[in-house]
Structure 1
Amino acid sequence: MKRAGRPDFDAYAGDLFGEMVLADASATPAPPKPWSRFVPGLAICAIASVAAAWFAQNYGVPIILAGLLLGLALNFASGDPRTHDGLDFASRHGLRVGIVLLGFQVTAMQVVAMGIIPFAGLALVMGASLLAALAAARATGQSAAVGLLAGGATAICGASAALALYGVIGRERIEQAQFTLTLVILAAASAIALTTYPALTQMLGFTDAQAGFLVGASIHDVAQAIGAGFAVSDAAGAQATVVKLTRVALLAPLVTLAALWIARVQPLAAGSSSARVPLLPGFILAFLALVGVNSLIALPPALAGHALTLSKTLLLLAVTATAMRTRTDLLLELGWRAVMPVLAATIASLGVALAFARWAI
């Protein structure tokens, strides 16, 4: 049944974000939206990110944790529809470009130089993280997607890996509140590890090689893993850097396997947006391409330094915007069960890394 002066409902179709658009090619196209629509959301996200950086610099708060907490505190701003375009742009594109730029920090030679025994230990630590998170999710009545997100983020590089995995797991499988809580727990666990793991290696009498492997294999965040290594000694810091960057290099294969596995164990309807996510998203392919270029060409060290700074900035904007778009009432409703997969993965990675460092390094 038609309404007067209106086209048939069949002339409309849902786009990627569920909005209604004209499907009739002969219809007059809508005028392009102005770029200024991004300004309100990007501006408030940038202000919150600068404040997070200030807290990190002056009070020693991990910068990702500061961004998450400030974003959650300012989430009332997302109640204004004018902020939505900018916040969504920061959370989506900031994470992709930030992860791509991490490719400047990794080379194939670093992975080869680590040696077969440490690499085998690293594989054991990562496998233990994934299995522990999946087991904890199942024991607490949560989906496999929640366990995969927590375990994969713990196994690779914390918030960066969580953002990449969330891109292939999809919002249909994991609520945004659950994703934000995972980021908060990851950042908190990494901060605790930074302050306690170096002292733990000294209490156990670990050598520099053992200490470097332990912190590089078990601390989530890249900067904090490397910083914990250098807190022990320069030699331990060098070892931690190689081990941690090897974990970062494994981001691409993990995302590929995660996309394949989650599509099999928790399939979505054929028309959903996440069901159409490619096995290797474009930003992961770009990350691999940069790793290849960095492996074949001696790039200036200053370029890698600037790329790392820009990557951290974009990832900070992404997590801050994600937190601002999260409803805190939903976070409270999740309860203690939502925390367990990350805690289980963290404990498992520490236990396996300790045992391997003690007996095999």
Structure 2
Amino acid sequence: MSTFLPAIRLLQPDRLKGLAPGVMLAVLIALAATFLSEHYGAPVMLFALLLGMAFHFLWDEPRCAAGIDFASKTLLRLGVGLLGARITFEKIGALGFGPILLVLVSVTATIGFGLLMARLFRRHWTFGMLTGGAVAICGASAALAISAVLPNRPEREKDTLFTVIAVTGLSTIAMIAYPILFTALGFDDREIGVMIGATIHDVAQVVGAGYAVSEEAGDTATFVKLLRVALLPVVVISIMLFARRGEGAKGVSLPSFVVLFAALVVANSVGAIPAVAAAALSEISRWLLVVAISALGMKTALKEMFALGAGHINVVVSITLFLMALALGLSVLV
């Protein structure tokens, strides 16, 4: 997984010039989404996503692509990392041990189910491992990390591309549908946050879905999601050992935005962050996330997912539904 700190160090003037068109476009969409949200009362994240998708054609514009990609990845991770300034150990302790157990069980079971579905739909086991890991942990980022340590097959690149598109598309659908579903099932905001954090693939859509419900749901969803993300190095190393391949392992490490998130949680818990500074970091984080969601929308083309084969789609959809069903079955833990 790429991280935001190395990218920030690379922001030289020529690099900034190349990023500016795409980033400014994402900022403009974020401002429009904020305006609509304030005047019509709908979630700003939803407006940002839908407006972004309406401008998907700009993702194919070379002058905009680099900035859009930067906003959807680097700014997203920085925004999530800064969310640690609004969370304390007291809030985490209020969650209890249940969500941690839920994450451990669901990640393990989902990867195993991915292998089973790959065999059922006559796909190579590496595809099951790839999609199972992507769904279980953190979507596209997990897919890229896992792909790096899988055996080098001719289909690996195509399978990786499909997985990235599929989990991004399904996460987009889940971002809209899951809050409605969990609310209809009678969950409170804390429980909805746990379920969103435990079931949606990508960090961006977890944040969008959580804060579309409430601040409490968003904070809870972010923490539960980062529990899943923190398992990525363990899963990648385990897959590497299972596949008996060493290449790609050198880059496995805990993502920097997870480290930043944890550091801010610790600092905020011991009172090292003044209330004014915590509020400022929280507001910066919110804007970064709206901009990132706007950029993610511009990168999303759902029709591409359905053009890559029914068998592949069946595997990743089955795994997604399994994760949601498993989380619902284990909801007594939360």
Q: Given the two structures, how large is their TM-score scaled by the length of structure 1?
A: 0.64
Q: CA deviation at 1:182?
A: 1.8
Residue equivalent to 2:64: 83
Higher helix content, 1 or 2:
2
In structure 2, the CA distance between the partners of 1:333 and 1:97, relative to structure 1 (3 Å rule), is same
Q: CA deviation at 1:258?
A: 3.3
Residue equivalent to 1:287: 261
Q: CA deviation at 1:289?
A: 2.2
Kindly indicate whether the alpha-carbon contact (under 8 Å) linking 1:95 and 1:314 is maintained by their aligned counterparts in 2.
yes
Choose 1 or 2 for highest CA Rg: 1
- Between the aligned partners of 1:176 and 1:57, the Cα distance in structure 2 is 37
Residue 197, structure 1, aligned to residue 174, structure 2: no
Secondary structure of the corresponding residue to residue 333 of structure 1: coil
**Cα distance per residue 1:54-91 (max 9 Å; x no partner):** 55556676655554554444333244332233233323
Residue equivalent to 2:91: 110
Kindly indicate whether the alpha-carbon contact (under 8 Å) linking 1:95 and 1:163 is maintained by their aligned counterparts in 2.
no
- Between the aligned partners of 1:53 and 1:340, the Cα distance in structure 2 is 37
Residue equivalent to 2:235: 258
In structure 2, the CA distance between the partners of 1:63 and 1:218, relative to structure 1 (3 Å rule), is same
Secondary structure of the corresponding residue to residue 287 of structure 1: helix
Which one is further off, 137-146 or 288-297?
137-146
Residue equivalent to 2:133: 148
Q: CA deviation at 1:150?
A: 1.6
Q: Given the two structures, how large is their TM-score scaled by the length of structure 2?
A: 0.68
Kindly indicate whether the alpha-carbon contact (under 8 Å) linking 1:132 and 1:151 is maintained by their aligned counterparts in 2.
no
Find the partner of 2:20 among 39, 52, 66.
Answer: 39
Find the partner of 1:296 among 260, 270, 280.
Answer: 270
- Between the aligned partners of 1:119 and 1:70, the Cα distance in structure 2 is 35
Q: CA deviation at 1:163?
A: 5.9
Find the partner of 1:182 among 162, 167, 179.
Answer: 167
Kindly indicate whether the alpha-carbon contact (under 8 Å) linking 1:189 and 1:346 is maintained by their aligned counterparts in 2.
no
The AA in structure 2 aligned to 1:216 is G
Which one is further off, 44-53 or 62-71?
62-71
1:18-29 aligned at under 5 Å gives the runs none
The AA in structure 2 aligned to 1:76 is F
Kindly indicate whether the alpha-carbon contact (under 8 Å) linking 1:181 and 1:331 is maintained by their aligned counterparts in 2.
yes
The AA in structure 1 aligned to 2:238 is W
The AA in structure 1 aligned to 2:292 is A
- Between the aligned partners of 1:296 and 1:198, the Cα distance in structure 2 is 34
- Between the aligned partners of 2:47 and 2:328, the Cα distance in structure 1 is 29
Residue 95, structure 1, aligned to residue 76, structure 2: yes
Find the partner of 1:313 among 283, 287, 290.
Answer: 287
Q: CA deviation at 1:257?
A: 1.8
Q: CA deviation at 1:114?
A: 3.2
Kindly indicate whether the alpha-carbon contact (under 8 Å) linking 1:107 and 1:294 is maintained by their aligned counterparts in 2.
yes
Q: CA deviation at 1:243?
A: 5.4
**Cα distance per residue 1:240-289 (max 9 Å; x no partner):** 6785454145145222223323444568895xxx6653422333333332
- Between the aligned partners of 2:278 and 2:104, the Cα distance in structure 1 is 27
In structure 2, the CA distance between the partners of 1:186 and 1:35, relative to structure 1 (3 Å rule), is closer
In structure 2, the CA distance between the partners of 1:296 and 1:166, relative to structure 1 (3 Å rule), is farther
The AA in structure 1 aligned to 2:230 is P
Which one is further off, 319-328 or 142-151?
319-328
Which one is further off, 325-334 or 98-107?
325-334
Kindly indicate whether the alpha-carbon contact (under 8 Å) linking 2:162 and 2:305 is maintained by their aligned counterparts in 1.
yes
1:189-228 aligned at under 5 Å gives the runs 189-201=174-186, 211=188, 214-219=191-196, 220=200, 221-222=206-207, 224-225=209-210
**Cα distance per residue 1:80-127 (max 9 Å; x no partner):** 332233233323421331232132243344333433456434543454
Q: CA deviation at 1:343?
A: 4.3
Q: CA deviation at 1:321?
A: 3.3
Consecutive unaligned residues of structure 2, counting only runs of 5 or more, are: 3-11, 149-155, 201-205
Residue 334, structure 1, aligned to residue 308, structure 2: yes
Residue equivalent to 2:30: 49
1:107-146 aligned at under 5 Å gives the runs 107-117=88-98, 119-121=100-102, 123-133=104-114, 135-136=116-117, 139-140=120-121, 141=123, 142-146=127-131
| TM-align CA RMSD | 4.2
- Between the aligned partners of 2:188 and 2:303, the Cα distance in structure 1 is 41
- Identity among equivalent pairs (%): 24
